[in-house]
Structure 1
Amino acid sequence: MSRPPTPGKPASRRDLLRWGLLLGASAPVLSACGGLSTSGGGGDGVSFVSTQFTPVEEAENLRGILRRVYSGGVNYVVGDSSQLSAQIRSQAASGTMNIDLIGGLHGDFAQLGEGLLTDLSDLMDELSVGGYSAEFTELAGLGGTGAFYIPWTQATYLLAAHESALEHLPPGAEVDALTYDQLLDWVIAARRANDDRPVFGLPGGPEGLLHRFIQGHLYPSFTGGVVSTFSGPDAVAMWEYFRELWANSTAASTNFDFMQEPLSSGEVTVAWDHAARLVGAPANNPEQWRMVPSPAGPRGRGYMSVLLGLGIPQGSEKVEEAKAVIRSLSTPDAQIELLRTNSFFPTVDTPIPGDLPPAILLEADAVKAQQDSPDTIVSLPPVGLGQRDGEMSKVFRDAFTAIVLDGADIRATLDAQAGNMQTILDEADVPCWAPDPDTGERCRVA
């Protein structure tokens, strides 16, 4: 597997984007949770609040890593972005900060801003001899000159396919370089060979990430953008395609949250999802599985990438202890262990060892193929929306419900949802994020 840019070595913006390093904001957490409890911040141990690794198993995996790599106590609590932001602001206003360490996506830190985060420039320099690249430093600086979080780990989205489905690939199709037309032909052929029962599934359940498939994969691949092309003619063609793809998907997709479960049970044999939600499928028989890059559309091979960081809120009374936790989680061994357990890839410059579980190695090969594709269009989660991020996701899910499930008119639906999207952007007053061009002005729906 090719590796991220070496700290201290200059890297181009394209290189950073291909490795998910120029990411813009928070995606929804993998599972919902109740309110945060950070009362332990003033007692023993570091109070570590994260918007990521929220499923019980993933959280326990991380707690296990923390116990192995850090000798002090850590109270690891999970919550969503709006909860985290609200508590940081509330505690900062009260003068009592009970949160010592933050784990989240770039957008979690961007919505806090440098006024609520500790400058970690010294730690950034310490963890990378010679300093990070100019692009990387700029990202962590949140528009300023400091470093307000340390890159932690990264992930993306892929297709998973059982070998039984591969025989139905259309003639001339290469599984590691599929187009969306070939994907549709593939799932149609597999359905027909399976007594007309669909074999393809998507995560359309209440906690599924179907909106990221639409937002980060279909839209860039078919239109070249997301917001700026939301209701254009290419978007109409994309939704027409999606109707046909969904018609050849299992109807149970509206209930699927994690695709590794229906893949493991044999309910589907081909599926798209977050890498961490696919890795369980080939765990018992990896020789019978392939992990596959996302397909390409008329505009290119669009895919969304995810970067997690670690930061310290201003006002924490345990800054040095929190820095020690960051150091512990930034070692190659700790990051490889996080890959081994939670399927998130390192941000530090370290080789991927061959003794990892075969399912992880399958994903590593697919990630490399996806990132090395010459026609990639990297999509970033929304930047700067804060608590409105969920409303932006709802725009895509509502459009899907109306157009694909209910058969509503595509043009009328997109026009209505474009108004909803623009209202969100107007109230947030933020510029566009990749793949849409950042003009420095308020992002606008075309």
Structure 2
Amino acid sequence: MTNRINDDLRISRRGLLGLGLGVAAVPALTACGGVSTSGADGGEGSVSFLSTQFTQVEERQRFEKILGDRVTAAKVAFNPVDASTFGTTVKSQLDAGKVQLSLLGGVHGDLAPHADRLMDLDDLLGSLGDRGFTSDLTDLAKLSGSTTKYVPWMQATYVLAVHKKALEWLPSGVVTPQMTYDQFLSWMTAARQGNGNKPVFGIPAGPKGLYHRFFQGFLLPSFTGGQVTTFRSPDAVTAWQYMKELWAQTAPASTNYDSMQEPLQRGEVLVAWDHVARLRDAPGDKPGDWLMLPAPSGPKGLGYMLVVAGLAIPNGAPEAAKAKEVVKALTTGDVQVDVLRQNAFFPVTNAQLPTDLPAAVGLEAAAVKRQQETAGAIVSLPPVGVGARDAEVGQVFKNVFKEVCLDGKPVQGVLDSQAGQLNAILDELKVACWRPDPAGSPCRVA
């Protein structure tokens, strides 16, 4: 099926990552009696909730506690799985007409391939008018159709974590929240030189790290204005030449880092880029020693990746009515803030952020607010419609990094070769492009 985000959809930065600062809170959700969330089987009449989110053990446990404390309308069996398992499970159950799932949770790209398998939720969304969802988010939730296919659940992005010690090497005249990539490179170069020739910057370039999202959502959009269509353009060559220079100022151990909060805690690096959920523990018990900053800006603007998650109900869900009650509970202000406190995913509603947030989350809140309000910001989405092949798409970007930055191969030749690999995948999938590329179909590297 074709999954496209309409080319004329205008995604405002404020709307897509609005943090609700200064907005009146929605009515409080009463925290009463616990509910069983017994994993794979919550018992007869329970809501089977399949999700691509909160798959890490600690995140899952914290979210299950939120479900137990806050959801009173139904028992919920929460089952977090990887994106591939999610896609095959949804497809197999619905195509066979033997639906056991009642609620689905995933990022926009997880849900988009199943648009025709999801219930229309216009009625549910209409009953949630007090949540304050922006029109940008509700337009995305239509999955390029005319009716609502999911209810916005939560959102996240990526930022820079900085130990204040690194500020002693900040070049004169550079304002940290408004850096360009060239200024950032100068800073990291000066920091390495001032630190006994030891780099202070790190990225999560380990086997399970999310460094490909940096290339997809930050580097390339900032230098080229696109992610796919501009993959091997002259601007892309410039971007990767820049990345090669930045890598020379990056801790070589980054290729072992899956998450940056531990290297930051250990003092192995002082500056790092990562997903907000993977930086929340970096400041530890000394938040006053840390800053969280927006990404730098490039020639085309400040490119950043927005991760939007939604809640959907599959056609034929055995407990659809109860699932709708669970969705209502998960979009209340108190629950939205609970998820922010516990798992560092930000509200999609007008929930007012309290002043007593965990220190690290408060730092992140300020950074993402600056990032999304930056003039000329370019919103990027993770690949949409590629389903279980997202890892293959991501691997193409990882391959470019390896060949250019680690192996020292000529940039243009690497891009031409990897463009062929990316086009081979996209030609099989025949999907439309996703932000920030134009929504033409099928999507291909130019």
Who is 1:97 aligned against?
A: 99
RMSD, aligned α-carbons = 2.0
- One-letter amino acid of the counterpart of residue 445, structure 1: V
Distance 1:130 1:304, change over 3 A: closer
Maintained 8 Å contact 2:433/2:442 = yes
Is 1:319 matched with 2:336?
Answer: no
Who is 2:86 aligned against?
A: 84
80-89 or 52-61, larger mean C-alpha shift: 80-89
| Unmatched tracts of structure 2, length 5 or more | 1-8, 20-37
- One-letter amino acid of the counterpart of residue 86, structure 1: T
Aligned pairs (5 A) from 1:32-111: 40=41, 43-71=44-72, 72-111=74-113
Maintained 8 Å contact 2:171/2:186 = yes
CA distance, structure 1, for counterparts of residue 198 and residue 177 of structure 2 = 25
Distance 1:59 1:133, change over 3 A: closer
After TM superposition, give the deviation of residue 94 of structure 1 in Å: 2.9
Who is 1:7 aligned against?
A: none
After TM superposition, give the deviation of residue 137 of structure 1 in Å: 3.8
Maintained 8 Å contact 2:431/2:443 = yes
Aligned pairs (5 A) from 1:328-343: 328-343=329-344
Distance 1:298 1:394, change over 3 A: same
After TM superposition, give the deviation of residue 20 of structure 1 in Å: 8.1
Aligned pairs (5 A) from 1:102-121: 102-113=104-115, 115-121=116-122
CA distance, structure 2, for counterparts of residue 134 and residue 18 of structure 1 = 9
Task: Give the alignment's TM-score, normalised by structure 2.
Answer: 0.90
Aligned pairs (5 A) from 1:91-240: 91-113=93-115, 115-129=116-130, 135-240=136-241
The structure, 1 or 2, with the larger RCO (C-alpha pairs under 8 Å, 6+ apart) is 2
After TM superposition, give the deviation of residue 139 of structure 1 in Å: 2.2
Q: CA offsets, 1:226-279, max 9 Å, x none? A: 111111111111111111111111111001011011001111000000011111
Who is 1:427 aligned against?
A: 428
- One-letter amino acid of the counterpart of residue 100, structure 1: S
CA distance, structure 1, for counterparts of residue 174 and residue 15 of structure 2 = 27
Distance 1:135 1:258, change over 3 A: closer
87-96 or 405-414, larger mean C-alpha shift: 87-96
Distance 1:12 1:377, change over 3 A: closer
CA distance, structure 2, for counterparts of residue 282 and residue 318 of structure 1 = 42
CA distance, structure 1, for counterparts of residue 343 and residue 355 of structure 2 = 17
After TM superposition, give the deviation of residue 212 of structure 1 in Å: 0.4
Distance 1:143 1:122, change over 3 A: same
- One-letter amino acid of the counterpart of residue 444, structure 2: R
Task: Give the alignment's TM-score, normalised by structure 1.
Answer: 0.90
Who is 1:445 aligned against?
A: 445
Distance 1:132 1:261, change over 3 A: closer
Who is 1:13 aligned against?
A: 11
CA distance, structure 2, for counterparts of residue 355 and residue 16 of structure 1 = 23
CA distance, structure 1, for counterparts of residue 112 and residue 18 of structure 2 = 16
Maintained 8 Å contact 2:339/2:346 = yes
Maintained 8 Å contact 1:125/1:131 = no
Distance 1:338 1:131, change over 3 A: closer
Maintained 8 Å contact 2:101/2:318 = no
- One-letter amino acid of the counterpart of residue 383, structure 2: P
Distance 1:422 1:331, change over 3 A: same
Maintained 8 Å contact 1:41/1:100 = no
Size of the alignment, in residue pairs?
Answer: 419
After TM superposition, give the deviation of residue 39 of structure 1 in Å: 6.1
After TM superposition, give the deviation of residue 17 of structure 1 in Å: 6.2
